[in-house]
Amino acid sequence: MTLEIKELDVINEVFAIVKDLKKMINNSNSKKWMSVNELAEYICYSKDAIYKMIGTQFIENYHFYKQSGKLLFETEKIDQWIRSPKIKPANHVEIDSNIDDIFKSIKCS
């Protein structure tokens, strides 16, 4: 079996992506607390979106704590929030569909 040069390039790209993903997983698991900036990067949301979600999606003294004027988010609780099913009223289906389409069109780097 022989591989073309293009195929080797793709394999190298995949290998680099896997290596980056492993590094991201190791970094995220090692840190118990995140700032607003770190959380925004972690879940690919804007800082403004994070602030808007406080009180509606994120609960004080559960997902985050205020300490010395800063908001600190607990990584484990955020991971649970990400994995949990979101229950929404029926009238949000169309809006959520539009929002999902917008998010799919935006690439998070």
> Of 26-40, 68-82, 88-102, which range is least confident?
88-102
Q: Which run of H or E residues covers position 95?
A: helix 93-105
**Enclosing domain of residue 89:** 32-105
Residue 39 scores a pLDDT above 90: yes
Do 36 and 82 sit in the same domain of this protein?
yes
- Contact of 71 with 36, CB cutoff 8 Å: yes
Residue 32 bridge partners (DSSP): none
What CATH number should be reported for the domain holding residue 52? 1.10.1660.60
Residue 70 main-chain phi, psi, to 5 deg: -110, 150
Do 44 and 63 sit in the same domain of this protein?
yes
Do 57 and 85 sit in the same domain of this protein?
yes
3-state secondary structure of 106: coil
Do 36 and 69 sit in the same domain of this protein?
yes
Predicted confidence (pLDDT) per residue in 43-63, tens digit: 999 999 999 998 888 888 888
**Cβ partners under 8 Å of residue 16, min gap 6:** none
Residue 86 scores a pLDDT above 90: no
